[in-house]
Structure formats: C-alpha cells, structure tokens
C-alpha cells in the first residue's frame, strides 16, 4: 500500500538529507514515482503544517502543552492501530512538540519531524479506515480531526487590520512598550467600514515621545520614519530603497554584545525599528519582502564568521538586492515594455509610478514617437510630479484629473499602470483610482498593462479594498480657496466623516498583461511566480 | 549618537550690566532658580543625557555647589572653562571644543526660557537632512514698567528681517537691520526658485540651533567667523542659493578670491560627501517635491538647507535685557509646579502672601507684610509692615520694617533701610538704601560700577 511505502521512503530520505521542509518534494523527485492523489494532498498539507509551525513556535497553547508530555512517546513508536481518540491530539501536539523543538537544536528537530510525519500518516490512515468501516468511527474521529486539521491552516490576522479589536490593541500596546517604541494614537472619526484600520494625523508626529538624541531607535531609522510619515519618501520602490539604506547604516553602527551571536542578536535589534516604522506608516509589501530577505541573510551568517566580515557581507547582500531586484529589474521591464510601445501611441498613465516613468523615458530615448496623458487625482496630486519628469525629458504630455477619464479615453491606445503590490490571486494593489482606470479602459477596450517588479509580489489574497488598506491623514482633504476653509471644523459635525484611502485592488479581469522582470505574464500567473520563488529560496 | 547638546553660558549679559556686574548672567535668579537651570531643564526633559557647557570659572563653581543645580539636573555636565577676558564669540567657542564634537550638535544659549516642543525643531533637521535648523518665536510685548527707563521704550533693538517660503519652514533670507544700509536686497536666484516669500520682522531668535557636524569642520577651516548668530547663520542662509561648485565663476579670477572661494566651498564638499548612492536612488524614485511650478527636482537640487520653526504660541523668552528679565520672572514660575511658598520659608500668620508670588527657601517674612505678584529669593529677610508689589527680590536681601517696594528689582545682598519707599527702581548688588529714602525710577548702583561701560 502506498502508506507503508511512504514510511519506508521516509526513513531513507531522512537519512539522506537533513532538511525536513523540502522532504515531500525531494521524496517525489528522487523516487521518480508517480504521485497519487493522496500523496499530493499529503505533500500540500505537510508544507502548510511546516509553515504554520515555524510561525507559531512562540505561542504553545496550554492544551498543546498538556498533551505534549503524554504524546511524546506515542509518535516515536510506529503505531499500527492508533486509537481514534489519540488521532486528534497527536497532530496538534506533534505540531507543538515540533514547534518547541524548532527553538532547540536542529538535531532533535529531525527526529521530531520524522515522528510527526509518521503520526500524521497514521492518523490519516486510521481516519480513512474509519470511513471504510462505518460511520460511527468516522464521525467520532472526524469532528475531532477537523478542528485540529483546520487549526494549522488558519493564519493570524496582522495587527494593522484589527484596530477595532480591543484585545489586539492591547497586545500591540504591550509589544510596543516592551520594545520601547512609542504608540501613535489614532486621529479623528473613522468611517465605519474602515474602522479596523489605523488613521494617523501628520500633526502628531511619531517622534513626539522619542527622546531627542534618539537612543532606543537608531537615528537613521528615526529619520526614515519621519520621512515616511511626512511623505518625503513615497512610492513603493523609494520606500524600500530608503529602508535598505537605513538598515545598512544600522548594520554599520552595530556591535555584537558579548555572549551574543550576530545572526540572532541583530535580528532582535531590528524588530523595534520595524515596529517604529510601521507606527509611522504601515509597511508596504515591497518593504515586507525586503525585510524578510534581510532577516534571512542575517540568520544565515555562520557563527564562526568575524563581525567585520559579517557586516561587510551583509552590506554587499543589501547592495546586490537593490541592484538585482530594483535597478536591473527596471531595466529588464523597460526592455520588455518597449516592445509594446509603438510609434503614434497615446499612452495613459496614472499618478506617479517610478517604474512607468522610467519606461517612458527609456522609450523616448530610444526614439519611439508617442504622447502621454497623465491622469491625476486628489488629494495627493502625484501626477504633477510625473508630469514634471516627463516634460523635462521632452515628452509631449496632457494632464487631466480622473473625473475627465471617460472623456479622454477614446484617444488612448494603451494604459500603463504601476503597482504597489501584486497579490497571490492575481489582483493588483495600487494607488486608489487605479481600479477605476482599469474598469473604464476595459469598457473602452483599451489594453491595460501593469508594470511591476517581482519583489513586490505578495502572498496575501484580497478581493476587495476594504479588508486591508491604509488610511491617510483626513485633514489632507481640506482645501482653502479664496481664504475660506469650509471643512475646517469637520470634526464637530457628527454625521460627517472624511476618508482618505491610499490603495485599491484591481481584479485580474481588467488587466491584460503584467510586465515583470521575468517577462510578460498574465495576471493569473502570479501564484506560479511566487511558487517558483519560494522553491528557489 | 544623534545629537550632542552644547550650552553657551559664557556670555556677559552686556545689555543688562546693572544686574550682571556682580553676578554672572547664567546665575541670575529667575523664579528663584538660576537662569542656567532653564535650558538645562529643557534639555533634560527632552531626553539628553549629556551636555557640554561652555562657561566661565565662576559659573563652573556654582554648577557644582548650587543646590538647585546639583540635585535637579541629572544629566552629565561636561564643563569647559574659558577665560572671561578673551572676547570669545559663540563660533569661536565651538572651534575651541571641536575635539569633543563627534556628531551633529544642538547649540542652546543659557538665557533661553521656553516650553517649546523641541522635537519640532529637531524633526525639521532630521526629515529634510538640513544643515541648520533653528527656533524663532513671535515677540511678546513687554508690559511691565522697566526700572530706570526714562520715557517710552526706545527702539534700540534692531529688527531682524526673516524671509521664509510658503510653508513657513524653509529659511530663505535672514538679515539684521544694521546690516542693511541701502535697503533689503534679494537675489534673483532666490526669487526664481521661491517666487513666494514671506518676510517677517516681529520675530525673536531663540538662539537654539541644530547644526550639522560639517558646519563645525567648516568653522575650523574658516577662523574669521566669530559669532553663530551674527555671521554663521546669515552665511549659511545665503549659501543655500549660491552657485554650486560645478558652475564656473567667471568674475572671480584673482587668486585671493579663489582661495576664499575654496574655503567657502569646503562647506559644500563636507556636507555632500556622505550622500550615498542608495539615498540618491531613493530620492529619485520618490514622488515628492517640496515646491511646484518649475522643472527642478526636490530642494532644487541644493545640498544645503536651512529650516526654521516659528513658535506661534507658548513661552519663549531670551533674558538678555532688563525688561526681558522682569517679564521672565513673571512668567517662569508657570513652567514648573513648585509650591509658591517654599517649605523652609518662615512666613508668619499675619502676613499676606499673594498666590501669584513665590517665596524661596530659608526666607523670613514677619508680621503684617503683604507680598503681591512678586518673587522673593533665597535667605531673604523681610521685616514687619512691608509692602512689596510687583517686584523681584533676589537672594540674601534684607528689607527693614515699613518699606514700600513697588515694581522694582532688588539684587543680591542689598539692604533696604527702614521706611524706604522704592518705586520702579533697580537696586544693585550689595547696595544699601538709607532709611526713609524715596526713590522713583532710578538705578541705584555702586559708584565703582558706574565706570563700567
């Protein structure tokens, strides 16, 4: 039977290589056997389990702790006929034991992983047997099995979308207090649909409670946070690059305290900085990926490496990341994009995307004849900056506000959009207004091309713009004309709320092509790229 | 480390010699605390742990012995002494301590009393990577009568012309009336870059500056700059818009001018050295600009930027004249909540001490005395039936019975004889006023002090 085979293969492969994570795939690849449907399912479940365990290793629940002791012995024995009541707690406690073991030395993890996999196989076998035998056993095993099976799959919601939950807020406050990062308070009335998001005011800067020679938080991180909150550094690429620059300075000024290892201590040092930056402005997807990369690089530094050498290596890593993922990627994207720009084109762009500007400037240098229509929207009016850069280059431009979109669209031959992030289900997250542009362009049958580097690809899935977004300062919407500011006292009017959204999501049906540094792909291929990236890493 | 604090406490108080001929300015009592306590308190409240204090020997002694200063100030004070005789300007002092300066500095003057949120000034410095960031405040009109002043206030204070851009944060122009003989001259390059400029005259410079480290290095190379406020700040503000290194300057071809040019260009070199390629890339990719309407990038591509934070409301005083001193005494007690009557003061039952007066430690106030809107210093003895209204009594003063003191300043260790009637006078340090004297609007100082200019 496939199960017993699987167990044998298990033991062989455990001996072969130590990495428990890629086991399923390695097993399948090395053996070259055709995977049955249940094996595929099992592989997927294993991977999910591993991912969840690596996240949850800090919070073992009481239930898991209790069950851990009695069941430690159970997984080590090959159980042929495990009773159904054990089947349920075993996967849960196995995950707990594995999670606790993950914190300990790697030698133990191997055994735990092996044991845990065996236990899971057994439980699945028994649940299948139970199904065959009769409904009774399966019903008893199923409800017990299903909540525990579901548990590894449910992910924790990130804090920044749980602002209306007092428990989450308390947790955040405690965490910030522990890290000595000041908590920034929300401002003004929030529209009820978005009350689960933070809304900060520029008049309460995040530096109000930080001591003036910033000691807890590195000065370059404080400077970066200020620049984020005031909008001096805006735009996905700019934010990531500035973040990496600040981290370079942090690494340069870092010195390992005695009895600590650089690979672990430096990562701990970075956490309060990241909390502070997310208090200044919620992190973008590109920043999140950059942080993940740095943390991985830091923890991969071998312990016998000297401090200076390690620091130099990290600086190099950061430089090469920026070079590969941002600079060279934009060159590659512009090379692909130029094929799509033909002479006599009328190109519509929205807001100020550094990548799209770069593409257009490159195309102009390569003697393509086209003109550009820049669409802009309040309150940011970023299109003015895009307009300035394009006109400075010499490109013929037209400038309209988004309300004139359907008027101008009959003239347009192509729409180029930038993206803040590309989500795993193919949705494009970009500046608010982008989905409108894509929608109207679709109605007029104008092709919509989204340009995005691969490092902005995100594993999140979103189908609407409400779940996870960013609320900017509502006072930005207030405008003074002819000396009169009508919205000056908007807070006193009970029934009035000002909403300043920053992002929105565009469904993949409206996007015709995504131009990335890997090539030109349809929107639905984003999960493939993500999968390939994960395998590579 | 991000910032180092430097406290300039070596000034002589040249505009209120009557008060300072015996007591150095940093030790003048304001609200029963020495003047230097206020900036030190401001720095401590904000989070500084170390301050470099540039001062004279006398003040240094007091810093280690004065009770208030020793106990209240928990920061580490690194006191640098300079001789009183050498006429050192503030910039010279910075050059003097150049070795100690390792990072950007925050220069504070010892006579600043303010409750500003210091992060406003420092945030401008941080966010825009500025070379200079300073604090200014709207001038408050002094309402109290100043002893010794005959007639209306003469406009002796020369006005400062401060030009800021539309946002009110970027400093475009700064000149003192004294330097503008032919009139206010604005360079065309400034007008081209910032077509809308607001020029303000009613501003008080708080003498609080955040300076980049490269400025200190520049001072070391250019020994001709002596004063921060008088020379360095206007120079930096002008230099924001001067032609950059790259563009050749055809008019200046003599060698002497070339050397001067080199020395002055050092500043730009020093401040641009650190601009890393990543930072450049971030700025290029960022869709932000600080101005609209022309084709240039953010900050017009300039590397030198000066910013100012103008306080609209709140307390900001510079105690460098007698009028300011009196006003500060009125207002300063609001900055901290000490009990108005110090626990060690002995105040008898039948005397009346108003709620807006403060009595210092170890005072003795005998019966039937009434004290209204006044500050009484340490170890002062006030005998019976004395009426004190609207006055400032410093430390160690003895006031005999039956005196009537109104709107006056009585300095340290003075003795006011019995039954004297003093209105709007300034009694200098250690002076004696004879009994039954009647003085109005006079400055009573010793004869040997009259020779001091």
Cβ of A241 within 8 Å of Cβ of B118? The answer is: no
Find the CB nearest A212 among B3, B288, B289: B3
Neighbours of A284 (CB within 10 A): 23
- The pLDDT of residue B274 is 55
| Between A383 and B265, the higher pLDDT residue | A383
Q: List pLDDT tens digits, range B378-424.
A: 888 888 888 888 888 888 888 888 888 888 888 888 888 888 888 88
Find the CB nearest B287 among A210, A234, A327: A234
The greatest distance separating any two alpha carbons of chain A, rounded to the nearest whole angstrom, comes to 84
Chain B residues 27-86 within an 8 A CB cutoff of chain A: 46-49
Kindly indicate the confidence band of residue B263, based on its pLDDT and cuts at 50, 70 and 90: low
Alpha helices (runs of H) in A322-471, residue ranges in sequence order: 329-340, 354-365, 383-393, 405-408, 434-443
* Contact residues, chain B, for A230 at CB < 8 Å: 127
* Contact residues, chain B, for A397 at CB < 8 Å: none
- Computed over every residue of chain A, the mean pLDDT equals 82
Cβ of A354 within 8 Å of Cβ of B285? The answer is: yes
The segment with the largest mean pLDDT, out of A134-143, A411-420, B241-250, B312-321, is: A411-420
Q: Would you say residue A104 has pLDDT above 60?
A: no
CB crowding A51-81: b at 16 or more within 10 Å, else e: ebbeebbeebeeebeebbeebeebbeeebee
Question: How many pairs of residues across A and B have Cβ atoms under 8 Å apart?
Answer: 106
User: At a CB cut-off of 8 Å and minimum separation 6, what does A326 contact?
Assistant: A237, A240, A241, A453, A455, B281
Cβ of A241 within 8 Å of Cβ of B289? The answer is: no
Q: Does B185 touch chain A (CB under 8 A)?
A: no
| Between A2 and B224, the higher pLDDT residue | B224
- The pLDDT of residue A102 is 41
Q: Would you say residue A277 has pLDDT above 50?
A: yes
- The pLDDT of residue B257 is 52
Q: Which of A89, A100, A84 is nearest to A63 (CA)?
A: A89
| Between A64 and A239, the higher pLDDT residue | A239
The Cβ-side half-sphere exposure at B154, using a 13 Å CA radius, reads 5
Chain B residues 250-279 within an 8 A CB cutoff of chain A: 276, 278-279
The secondary structure of residue A58, as a DSSP letter, is G
CA distance A447 to chain B (A): 25
Rounded average pLDDT over A217-229: 94
Q: List pLDDT tens digits, range A386-436.
A: 999 999 999 999 999 999 999 999 999 999 999 999 999 999 999 999 999
Kindly indicate the confidence band of residue A537, based on its pLDDT and cuts at 50, 70 and 90: low
The segment with the largest mean pLDDT, out of A114-123, B58-67, B396-405, is: B396-405
Cβ of B287 within 8 Å of Cβ of A210? The answer is: no
The helix (H) or strand (E) run that includes residue B442 is none
Q: How far apart are CA B145 and CA B408, in angstroms?
A: 9
Q: How far apart are CA B113 and CA A106, in angstroms?
A: 61
Residues above pLDDT 90, as percent of chain A: 54
Find the CB nearest A238 among B5, B129, B286: B286
| Between B186 and A64, the higher pLDDT residue | B186
Q: Which of A295, A288, A307, A366 is nearest to A331 (CA)?
A: A366
Chain A residues bordering chain B (beta-carbon distance below 8 Å):
205, 207-208, 210-215, 219, 222-223, 226-227, 230-235, 237-239, 241-242, 244-245, 248, 319, 322, 326-327, 351-352, 354, 382, 384-386, 388, 391-392
ipTM field: 0.87
User: At a CB cut-off of 8 Å and minimum separation 6, what does A126 contact?
Assistant: A81, A82, A84, A87, A141
Q: How far apart are CA A480 and CA A487, in angstroms?
A: 9
Distances from the Cα of A328 to the Cα of A319, A324, A514, angstroms: 12, 5, 17
Q: List pLDDT tens digits, range A294-353.
A: 999 999 998 888 889 999 999 999 999 999 999 999 999 999 999 999 999 999 999 999
């Amino acid at each position: 039977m496939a199960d017993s085979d699987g167990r044998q293969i298990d033991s062989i492969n455990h001996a072969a290589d130590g990495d428990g994570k890629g086991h399923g795939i390695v097993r399948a690849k090395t053996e070259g056997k055709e995977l049955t449907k249940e094996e595929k399912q099992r592989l997927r479940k294993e991977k999910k389990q591993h991912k969840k365990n690596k996240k949850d290793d800090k919070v073992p629940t009481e239930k898991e702790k209790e069950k851990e002791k009695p069941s430690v012995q159970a997984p080590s024995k090959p159980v042929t006929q495990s009773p159904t009541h054990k089947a349920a707690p075993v996967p849960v406690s196995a995950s707990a034991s594995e999670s606790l073991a993950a914190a300990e030395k790697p030698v133990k993890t191997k055994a735990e992983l092996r044991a845990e996999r065996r236990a899971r196989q057994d439980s699945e076998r028994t649940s299948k047997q139970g199904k065959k035998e009769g409904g009774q056993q399966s019903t008893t095993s199923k409800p017990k099995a299903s909540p525990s099976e579901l548990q590894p799959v449910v992910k924790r919601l990130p804090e920044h979308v749980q602002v209306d939950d007092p428990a989450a807020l308390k947790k955040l406050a405690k965490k910030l207090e522990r890290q000595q990062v000041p908590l920034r308070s929300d401002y003004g009335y929030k529209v009820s649909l978005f009350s689960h998001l933070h809304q900060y005011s520029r008049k309460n800067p995040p530096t109000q409670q930080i001591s003036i020679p910033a000691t807890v938080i590195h000065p370059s991180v404080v400077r970066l946070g200020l620049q984020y909150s005031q909008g001096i550094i805006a735009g996905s690429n700019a934010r990531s690059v500035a973040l990496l620059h600040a981290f370079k300075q942090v690494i340069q000024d870092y010195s390992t305290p005695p009895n600590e290892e650089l690979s672990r201590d430096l990562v701990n040092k970075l956490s309060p900085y990241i909390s502070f930056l997310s208090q200044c402005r919620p992190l973008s997807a590109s920043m999140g990926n950059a942080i993940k990369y740095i943390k991985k690089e830091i923890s991969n530094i071998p312990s016998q490496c000297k401090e200076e050498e390690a620091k130099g290596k990290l600086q190099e890593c950061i430089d090469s990341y920026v070079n590969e993922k941002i600079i060279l990627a934009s060159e590659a994207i512009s090379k692909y994009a130029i094929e799509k720009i033909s002479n006599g084109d009328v190109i519509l762009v929205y807001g100020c995307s550094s990548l799209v500007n770069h593409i257009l400037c490159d195309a102009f240098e390569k003697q393509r004849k086209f003109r550009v229509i820049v669409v802009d929207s309040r309150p940011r009016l970023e299109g003015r900056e895009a307009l300035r850069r394009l006109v400075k280059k010499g490109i013929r431009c037209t400038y309209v506000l988004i309300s004139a979109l359907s008027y101008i669209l009959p003239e347009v031959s192509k729409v180029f959009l930038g993206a803040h992030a590309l989500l795993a289900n193919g949705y494009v997250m970009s500046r608010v207004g982008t989905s409108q542009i894509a929608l109207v362009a679709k109605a007029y049958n104008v092709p919509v091309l989204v340009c995005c580097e691969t490092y902005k690809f995100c594993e999140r899935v979103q189908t609407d713009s409400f779940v996870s977004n960013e609320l900017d300062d509502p006072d930005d919407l207030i405008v003074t004309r002819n000396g009169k500011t009508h919205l000056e006292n908007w807070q006193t009017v009970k029934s009035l709320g000002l909403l300043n959204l920053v992002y929105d999501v565009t469904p993949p049906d409206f996007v015709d092509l995504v131009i990335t540094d890997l090539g030109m792909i349809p929107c639905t291929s984003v999960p493939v790229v993500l999968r390939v990236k994960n395998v590579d890493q | 480390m991000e910032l180092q604090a430097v406290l300039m406490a070596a000034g002589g108080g040249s505009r209120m010699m009557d008060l300072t001929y015996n007591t150095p300015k940093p030790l003048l009592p304001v609200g029963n605390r020495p003047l230097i306590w206020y900036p030190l308190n401001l720095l401590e409240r904000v989070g500084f742990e170390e301050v470099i204090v540039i001062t004279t020997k006398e003040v240094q002694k007091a810093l280690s012995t004065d009770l208030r200063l020793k106990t209240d100030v928990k920061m580490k004070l690194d006191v640098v002494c300079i001789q009183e005789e050498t006429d050192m300007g503030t910039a010279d002092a910075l050059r003097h301590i150049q070795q100690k300066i390792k990072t950007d500095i925050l220069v504070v003057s010892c006579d600043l009393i303010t409750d500003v949120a210091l992060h406003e000034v420092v945030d401008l410095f941080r966010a825009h990577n500025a070379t200079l960031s300073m604090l200014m405040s709207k001038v408050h009109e002094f309402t109290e009568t100043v002893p010794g002043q005959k007639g209306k206030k003469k406009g002796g204070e020369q006005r400062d012309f401060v030009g800021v851009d539309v946002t009110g944060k970027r400093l475009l122009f700064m000149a003192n009336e004294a330097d503008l003989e032919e009139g206010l001259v604005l360079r065309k390059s400034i007008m081209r870059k910032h077509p809308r400029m607001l020029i303000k005259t009613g501003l008080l410079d708080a003498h609080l500056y955040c300076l980049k480290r490269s400025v200190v290095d520049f001072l070391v190379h250019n020994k001709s700059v002596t004063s921060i406020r008088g020379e360095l700040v206007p120079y930096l503000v002008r230099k924001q818009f001067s032609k950059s290194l790259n563009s050749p300057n055809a008019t200046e071809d003599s060698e002497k001018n070339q050397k001067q040019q080199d020395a002055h260009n050092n500043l730009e070199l020093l401040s641009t050295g650190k601009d890393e390629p990543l930072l450049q890339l971030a700025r290029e990719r960022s869709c932000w600009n600080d101005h609209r309407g022309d084709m240039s990038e953010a900050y017009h591509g300039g590397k030198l930027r000066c910013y100012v934070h103008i306080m609209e409301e709140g307390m900001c005083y510079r105690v460098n004249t007698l009028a300011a001193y009196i006003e500060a005494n009125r207002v300063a007690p609001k900055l901290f909540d000490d009990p108005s009557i110090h626990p060690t003061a002995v105040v008898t039952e039948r005397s009346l001490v108003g709620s807006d007066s403060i009595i210092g430690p170890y005072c003795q106030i005998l019966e039937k005395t009434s004290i209204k809107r006044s500050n009484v210093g340490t170890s002062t003895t006030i005998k019976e039936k004395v009426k004190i209204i609207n006055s400032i009594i410093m430390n160690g003063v003895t006031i005999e019975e039956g005196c009537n003191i109104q709107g006056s300043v009585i300095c340290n260790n003075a003795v006011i004889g019995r039954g004297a009637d003093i209105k709007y006078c300034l009694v200098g340090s250690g002076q004696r006023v004879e009994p039954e004297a009647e003085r109005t609007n006079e400055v009573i100082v010793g004869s040997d002090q009259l020779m001091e200019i």
